[in-house]
């Protein structure tokens, strides 16, 4: 499999009152073309820092990022970015929010508008294109955020616990929507999460971070071929991965 | 058993009543009626007290005489000239001051270094009661219209500057990060996140600044002028013509009132996304 994105010995520390605290202590892993990688780890292990380094929002102190064999500083403009907060601009309508990417890329807006309307239809938001975000439910807003991410046709989609603020039903539904979209559009996805269940259900590989400063503890290949997140959860291998990852994070799963 | 049943029944009947009963006058028309009644009662008592001699006609005037003063001034045309002058000065001062202040405040977002550098100076200027500048402003800009506008600007600009700067500083960093990952540069972030984010705060300063614009105009006229409502009030009071003073004050009140509603209209126009809401409101 071809490597799309390679992180090489990434180090990052942040200033605190008493000097500096090391967050990432030499992190290396590869992300393949059309990969779906989840990054999990105990809280405070620097998951979001890795995320921001890949997104190009933070510069690492040391280390290299290679994109398709070339050294880059970060992937600004190449990535789609979704967070727990939907990050819709409240002063823009749904359609205007979706069109922010094409607008910034100075794409012809007529074409982009047609595409946006098609996406909105596909994801059940037809008729809401002129509504403001505050009039929509949390699930609808997160779908708008997903469309905004997809319409920009990013090479890599970065997700930082995108569904953790939603109720379980909405979340299962959106996980399904995401998996389908990733299949259809051949995207590479990096998912940062603390939710082991979600990581196993969605990913092809799971990167476990640990230690302080953190490093890659282990990488699991998830051998589940289900097409839906619900299907994945009923796969015979699911429980095994789930327990193994809980063990990695020192979570007690069986009564001692 | 039978007794507990009847208790339940009465309980159920109680529960069927609406929990919060609206007061009888709690509707658009009801409120207007009450407000008008209060105004009429206030003037009636004032007039009655003045006629009965409970209060001094000389020191507090009377509504009927105030009305006569207004009519006299309107017939001579002076009222409209004075009102026009003051209104023009106040609006000009408000528009320029607010625009310059807001633009400067927003501009400080570009450079946190410059912002931190000049912060103490802004605080220092803001801590002087701006009205105290009036004598200097008159010396510099003369006794005409420009000095009143300048005074109004000095009052409004700093309010707008501080509000715009504080709001721009708080512009949601996650939204800014999102735009950066989509390939936005600093100008894009400024125009597409910082400015719209700041707009509601800037508009809320309009309400305060409309009042300050009037303050600047009237105080400037007090000090030295030939026209304007401030001039009318000042000369009348030196002649102990209390009714004309009141007439001027009521016209000022009417102007302030009208401008306030104008701002309301502008706000609705500029911030449509803030109006739409179907969230139920909590009644405590």
DSSP B46-105: HHHHHHHTSS-HHHH--HHHHHHHHHHHHHHTHHHHHHHHHHHHHHHHHHHHHHHHHHHH
Q: Both tokens of residue A239?
A: 């429980």
Place of tokens 């205007």: A96
Closest residue of B to A56, CA-based?
Answer: B181
Q: Decide the pairing of beta strands A3-16 and A19-32.
A: antiparallel
- Distance, in Å, from the CA atom of B214 to the CA atom of B83, rounded to the nearest integer, reads 11
ipTM attached to this prediction: 0.80
| Nearest CA distance, B207 vs chain A (angstrom) | 21
Decide if B178 touches A, using CB distance below 8 A.
yes
Mean pLDDT of the region B71-78: 90
Closest residue of B to A149, CA-based?
Answer: B182
For residue A79, which of A159, A9, A10 has the smallest C-alpha distance?
A: A159
Closest residue of A to B191, CA-based?
Answer: A104
Q: Both tokens of residue B159?
A: 């309010």
Q: Is residue B7 part of a domain?
A: no
Q: Is residue B75 part of a domain?
A: yes
- Distance, in Å, from the CA atom of A152 to the CA atom of A246, rounded to the nearest integer, reads 36
pLDDT top residue among B253 and A68:
B253
For residue A181, which of A158, A150, A139 has the smallest C-alpha distance?
A: A150
- How confident is the model over A20-52, as pLDDT tens digits? 888 888 888 888 888 888 888 887 778 888 888
Does position B12 have pLDDT exceeding 90, yes or no?
Answer: no
For residue A91, which of A132, A131, A120 has the smallest C-alpha distance?
A: A132
Put simply, the answer to whether B177 touches A81 (Cβ < 8 Å) is yes
Angle between the B229-238 and B78-107 helix axes, to the nearest 10 degrees?
Answer: 120
**Confidence class of residue A252 from pLDDT cuts 50, 70 and 90?**
low
Residue A88 DSSP label:
-
Mean pLDDT of the region B42-50: 92
Residue A64 DSSP label:
E
Q: Angle at Cα A137 formed by Cα A136 and Cα A142, nearest 5°?
A: 95
Does position B155 have pLDDT exceeding 70, yes or no?
Answer: yes
Mean pLDDT of the region B259-271: 89
**Measured between beta carbons, which residues in chain B are less than 8 angstroms from residue A147?**
none
pLDDT for A241: 77
- How confident is the model over A91-144, as pLDDT tens digits? 999 999 999 988 888 888 888 888 888 888 888 888 888 889 888 888 888 889
Residues of A with CB under 8 A from a CB of B: 52, 55-57, 76-77, 79-81, 83, 85, 87, 89-93, 100-101, 104-105, 131-132, 134-135, 152, 158
Decide if B175 touches A, using CB distance below 8 A.
yes
Instruction: Order across the sheet with A62-67: list the strands.
Output: A19-32, A3-16, A62-67, A70-72
- Distance, in Å, from the CA atom of B125 to the CA atom of B154, rounded to the nearest integer, reads 10
Burial class of residue A106 in the structure, from the number of CB atoms within 10 Å of its CB (0-12 exposed, 13-18 middle, 19+ buried): exposed
DSSP labels, A181-213 = HHHHHT-EEEEE-S-HHHHHHH-SEEEEEETTT
For residue A247, which of A217, A227, A224 has the smallest C-alpha distance?
A: A217
- Distance, in Å, from the CA atom of A190 to the CA atom of A52, rounded to the nearest integer, reads 12
Decide if B174 touches A, using CB distance below 8 A.
yes
Listed as own residue / partner, the contacts of B53-62 with beta carbons closer than 8 Å and 24 or more positions apart are: B58/B240, B58/B242, B59/B242, B60/B242, B61/B242, B61/B243, B61/B245, B61/B246, B62/B243
Residue A34 DSSP label:
T
For residue B130, which of B162, B91, B168, B86 has the smallest C-alpha distance?
A: B162
Name residues whose C-beta falls within 8 Å of residue B110's C-beta, 6 or more positions apart in sequence.
B186, B190
From the list A83, A100, A134, which residue is nearest B182 (CB)? A100
**Confidence class of residue B18 from pLDDT cuts 50, 70 and 90?**
low
pTM: 0.78
pLDDT for A256: 44
* Beta carbons of A188 and A35 less than 8 angstroms apart: yes
Interface test with B, best of A74, A76, A90, A91 (most B CBs within 10 A): A91
Decide if B278 touches A, using CB distance below 8 A.
yes
**C-alpha distance from residue A136 to each of A94, A126, A139, A217, A233 (Å):** 9, 13, 8, 41, 29
Put simply, the answer to whether B181 touches A81 (Cβ < 8 Å) is yes
**Measured between beta carbons, which residues in chain A are less than 8 angstroms from residue B188?**
104
| Nearest CA distance, B205 vs chain A (angstrom) | 19
DSSP labels, B130-174 = GGGGHHHHHHHH-SSHHHHHHHHHHHHHHHHHHHHHHHHHTS-HH
Residue A160 DSSP label:
E
For residue A222, which of A239, A2, A214 has the smallest C-alpha distance?
A: A239
**Measured between beta carbons, which residues in chain B are less than 8 angstroms from residue A101?**
182
From the list A56, A91, A105, which residue is nearest B181 (CB)? A56
Q: Angle at Cα B24 formed by Cα B21 and Cα B27, nearest 5°?
A: 95
From the list B175, B183, B276, which residue is nearest A105 (CB)? B183
How many Å separate Cα A76 from the centre of its chain? 15
Q: Is residue B20 part of a domain?
A: no
Q: Is residue B276 part of a domain?
A: no
Q: Is residue B22 part of a domain?
A: no
How many Å separate Cα A216 from the centre of its chain? 18
Task: Indicate if the alpha-carbon torsion angle A237, A243, A244, A245 is positive or negative.
Answer: positive
Residue A214 DSSP label:
B
**C-alpha distance from residue B70 to each of A35, A197, B63, B122, B247 (Å):** 81, 78, 10, 42, 6
Q: What is the mean pLDDT of chain A?
A: 83
Residue B95 lies in domain: 61-271
* Beta carbons of A32 and A59 less than 8 angstroms apart: no
- Distance, in Å, from the CA atom of B94 to the CA atom of B116, rounded to the nearest integer, reads 27
- How confident is the model over B185-195, as pLDDT tens digits? 899 999 999 99
**Measured between beta carbons, which residues in chain B are less than 8 angstroms from residue A100?**
179, 182, 192
Q: Is residue B189 part of a domain?
A: yes
Put simply, the answer to whether A77 touches B181 (Cβ < 8 Å) is yes
Q: What part of B 192-221 touches A (C-beta under 8 Å)?
A: 192-193, 196-197, 199
**Confidence class of residue B10 from pLDDT cuts 50, 70 and 90?**
very low
Q: Is residue B204 part of a domain?
A: yes
How many Cβ pairs closer than 8 A exist between chain A and B?
A: 62
Put simply, the answer to whether B273 touches A83 (Cβ < 8 Å) is no
pLDDT for B71: 92
Q: How many domains is chain B built from?
A: 1
**Measured between beta carbons, which residues in chain B are less than 8 angstroms from residue A90?**
273
Q: Is residue B50 part of a domain?
A: no
**Measured between beta carbons, which residues in chain B are less than 8 angstroms from residue A57?**
177, 180-181
pLDDT for B5: 44
Put simply, the answer to whether A81 touches B184 (Cβ < 8 Å) is no
Put simply, the answer to whether B183 touches A134 (Cβ < 8 Å) is no
CATH of the domain at B248: 1.10.3720.10
* Beta carbons of A208 and A41 less than 8 angstroms apart: yes
Listed as own residue / partner, the contacts of B130-134 with beta carbons closer than 8 Å and 24 or more positions apart are: B130/B154, B130/B155, B130/B158, B130/B216, B131/B155, B131/B215, B131/B219, B134/B219, B134/B220, B134/B223
Q: How many CB atoms lie within 10 A of CB B104?
A: 17
């Amino acid at each position: 499999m071809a490597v799309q994105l390679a992180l090489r010995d990434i180090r990052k520390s942040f200033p605190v009152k008493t000097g500096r605290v090391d967050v990432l202590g030499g992190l290396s892993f590869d992300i393949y073309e059309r990969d779906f990688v989840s990054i999990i780890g105990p809280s405070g292990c620097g998951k979001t820092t890795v995320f921001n380094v890949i997104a190009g929002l933070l510069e690492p102190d040391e280390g290299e990022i290679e994109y398709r064999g070339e050294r880059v500083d970060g992937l600004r403009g190449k990535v789609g970015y979704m967070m727990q907060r939907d990050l819709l601009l409240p002063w823009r309508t749904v359609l205007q929010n979706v069109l922010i990417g094409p607008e910034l890329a100075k794409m012809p807006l007529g074409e982009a508008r047609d595409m946006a309307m098609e996406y909105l239809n596909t994801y059940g938001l037809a008729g809401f294109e002129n509504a403001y975000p505050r009039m929509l439910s949390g699930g609808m807003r997160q779908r708008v955020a997903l469309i905004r991410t997809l319409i920009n046709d990013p090479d890599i989609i970065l997700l930082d616990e995108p569904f953790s603020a939603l109720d379980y039903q909405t979340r299962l539904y959106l996980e399904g929507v995401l998996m389908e979209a990733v299949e259809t559009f051949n995207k590479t996805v990096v998912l940062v999460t603390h939710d082991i269940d979600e990581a196993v259900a969605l990913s092809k590989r799971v990167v476990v971070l640990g230690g302080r400063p953190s490093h890659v503890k282990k990488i699991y290949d998830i051998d589940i071929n289900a097409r839906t997140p619900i299907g994945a959860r009923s796969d015979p291998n699911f429980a095994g991965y789930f327990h193994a990852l809980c063990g990695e994070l020192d979570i007690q799963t069986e009564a001692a | 058993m039978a007794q507990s049943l009847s208790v339940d029944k009465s309980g159920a009947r109680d529960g069927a009543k609406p929990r919060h009963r609206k007061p009888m006058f709690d509707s658009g028309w009801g409120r207007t009626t009450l407000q008008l009644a209060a105004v009429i009662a206030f003037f009636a008592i004032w007039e009655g007290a003045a006629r009965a001699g409970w209060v001094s006609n000389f020191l507090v005037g009377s509504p009927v005489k105030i009305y006569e003063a207004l009519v006299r001034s309107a017939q001579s045309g002076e009222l409209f000239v004075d009102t026009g002058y003051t209104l023009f000065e106040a609006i000009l001062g408000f528009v320029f001051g607010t625009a310059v202040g807001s633009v400067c405040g927003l501009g400080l977002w570009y450079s946190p270094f410059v912002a931190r550098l000049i912060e103490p100076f802004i605080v220092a200027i803001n801590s002087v009661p701006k009205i105290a500048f009036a004598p200097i402003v008159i010396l510099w800009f003369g006794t005409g219209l420009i000095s009143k506008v300048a005074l109004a600007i000095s009052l409004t600009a700093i309010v707008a500057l501080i509000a715009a700067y504080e709001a721009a500083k708080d512009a949601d960093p996650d939204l800014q990060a999102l735009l950066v990952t989509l390939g936005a540069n600093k100008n894009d972030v400024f125009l597409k996140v910082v400015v719209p984010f700041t707009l509601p705060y800037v508009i809320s300063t309009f309400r305060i600044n409309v009042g300050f614009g009037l303050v600047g105009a009237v105080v400037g006229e007090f000090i030295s002028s030939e026209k304007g409502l401030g001039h009318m009030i000042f000369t009348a009071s030196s002649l102990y013509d209390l009714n004309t003073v009141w007439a001027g004050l009521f016209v000022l009140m009417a102007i302030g009132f009208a401008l306030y509603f104008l701002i309301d209209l502008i706000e609705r126009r500029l911030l449509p996304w803030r109006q739409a809401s179907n969230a139920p409101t909590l009644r405590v």
